[in-house]
Amino acid sequence: MTNTAGGHRRPSSTPVFQSVLRGGLVLAVAIAVVGGVIGFLAAGTPGLVSALIGALIGGLFLAVTAASILFANRLSNGDMLHPAYFGIILGAWLLKFVLFLIMVFLLREQPWIDGTVLFLTLVAGVLGTLAIDVIVVARSRIPYVSDVSLPGDGDRR
Amino acid sequence: MDTTVLAELSGNIATVGYGLAAIGPAIGVGIVVGKTIESVARQPELQGRLQILMYLGIAFTEALAFIGIATYFIFTAGQ
C-alpha cells in the first residue's frame, strides 16, 4: 500500500493532489485566455489586465491548499498527527488570506482595474477549481486501508 | 452639535464586512480540521481518504470566503 521512495513513505493521497494541481493549472490558463478575450472586448485593456489578475488569484491561491498538503505530507513523512502537518496547512491557509486581503486592498484603488471583470473571473476561477477538485477526488482510487505500517514491515519506516 | 443626534458612528463599514466574511470560513475550517484529527486518531489507516476529503472541505469553505471578501471590496471600489 505504501510506496517507499528514498526511505520516505509516500502517502496514497499524493497522486490525487498532484492531479488537482495539474487540473487547477489548466483551468487557470483556460480562464485567463477566455476571460482575457471577453474582458478585452468588454472593457478594453483594463478588462484584459483584470481578467489575467483574476485568473492568477483564482488559480494560484486555491492551489496553495493542495500544495501545502503535499508539502506537509513530505515534511511529516506521511503522518497526519505530526505537529507540523496541520501547522503547515493552516499556516498556508492563513497566509493566503492575508495576502488576498492585501491584494484586494491594493487593487481596488487602481485605475487600470475593471472591478466587474476581476470579480467575475475570480468567481469563475473559484467555482471552476471546486468542480475540478470534486471530479478529481471522485475519480481517484484510494484503498480503504493505506498509509499504515504493520509490525512485519517495520523496517520500511 | 445637533441635539437630535444621540449616537454617531464613523469609520469604514468594510471592517465589519471583512469580519463577517472571516467568521464563516474560520469556523468551517476549524470544524473540518478538528473532525479530521478526530477521525485519524480513531482510524489511522484511513489517512489517505481522509486527507482528500479534508481537502474538499477546506476548498469549499475557502471558496465562499474568497467570493465574500472580493464582493465587498470590488463592488465598493470608486465610491
Of B52, B73, B75, the CB nearest to A13: B52
**Do A62 and B62 make contact, defined as CB atoms within 8 angstroms?**
yes
**Do A137 and B73 make contact, defined as CB atoms within 8 angstroms?**
no
Q: Please give the pLDDT value at position A144.
A: 78
Domain membership flag for residue A130: yes
Query: Domain residue spans in chain B?
Result: 15-73
Closest-CA residue of B relative to A82 is B37
Higher-confidence residue: B17 or A75? A75
Domain membership flag for residue A144: no
Residue B56's pLDDT band, with cuts at 50, 70 and 90, is: very high
Domain membership flag for residue A124: yes
Q: Please give the pLDDT value at position A135.
A: 94
Domain membership flag for residue A2: no
Q: How many domains does chain A have?
A: 1
Q: Please give the pLDDT value at position A6.
A: 46
Of A11, A100, A140, the CB nearest to B69: A100
**Do A13 and B48 make contact, defined as CB atoms within 8 angstroms?**
yes
Closest Cα in chain A, distance from residue B39 (Å): 11
Question: Could you tell me if B29 and A90 are in contact, meaning their C-beta atoms sit under 8 angstroms apart?
Answer: yes
Does CATH number 1.20.20.10 belong to domain B15-73? yes
Closest-CA residue of B relative to A147 is B45
The count of CB pairs under 8 A between chains A and B is: 125
Which residue type occupies A137? V
Q: How far apart are the first and last CA of chain A?
A: 13
**Do B29 and A90 make contact, defined as CB atoms within 8 angstroms?**
yes
Q: Report yes or no for ipTM above 0.90.
A: no
Domain membership flag for residue A156: no
Q: Please give the pLDDT value at position B68.
A: 83
Closest Cα in chain B, distance from residue A148 (Å): 5
Contact residues on chain A for B44, CB-CB shorter than 8 A:
80-81, 147-148
Contact residues on chain A for B45, CB-CB shorter than 8 A:
144-148
**Do A118 and B74 make contact, defined as CB atoms within 8 angstroms?**
yes
Q: Report the range of poorest mean pLDDT among A30-39, A86-95, B25-34, B43-52.
A: B43-52
Domain that holds residue A25: 12-139
pLDDT 10s digit of each residue in chain A, 157 long?
A: 444 444 556 788 889 999 999 999 999 999 999 999 999 999 889 899 999 999 998 888 888 999 999 999 988 887 888 889 999 999 999 999 899 888 888 887 788 888 888 889 999 999 999 999 999 999 988 877 777 766 776 555 4
